[in-house]
Amino acid sequence: MSIESIRAEIAKLSLDEKYVLAHGLWEELERESADLPLTDAQREEVERRLREHEANPGQYQTWEEVRRELEDKLK
């Protein structure tokens, strides 16, 4: 199956079905990529973001907060 045919099938799904699919794909990516090492550039970016967060901890939302907001919008 080609990417184009997969995209065509996804376009037929409801918003809720697309959310479930996206969530499942994200979980699969997390499992498969857990053992991949970071490049030096990626590691530097993670460290930069962590320093920025530590300097301004109240400025950001947690993933749980973002996810809850998105789920509330789907209701």
Backbone angles phi, psi at 44, to 5 degrees: -60, -40
The residues, any chain, with a CB within 8 Å of residue 61's CB and separated by 6 or more, are 69
Are 15 and 74 within 8 A, CB to CB? yes
The pLDDT value given to residue 75: 81
More confident residue, 8 or 59: 8
Q: Tokens for 8, please give them.
A: 């065509």
The residues, any chain, with a CB within 8 Å of residue 3's CB and separated by 6 or more, are none
pLDDT for 16 beyond 90: yes
Per-residue pLDDT of 40-72, as tens digits, reads 999 999 999 999 989 988 888 889 999 999 999
Domain boundaries, given as residue ranges, for the chain: 1-36, 37-75
pLDDT for 8 beyond 90: yes
pTM score, whole prediction: 0.47
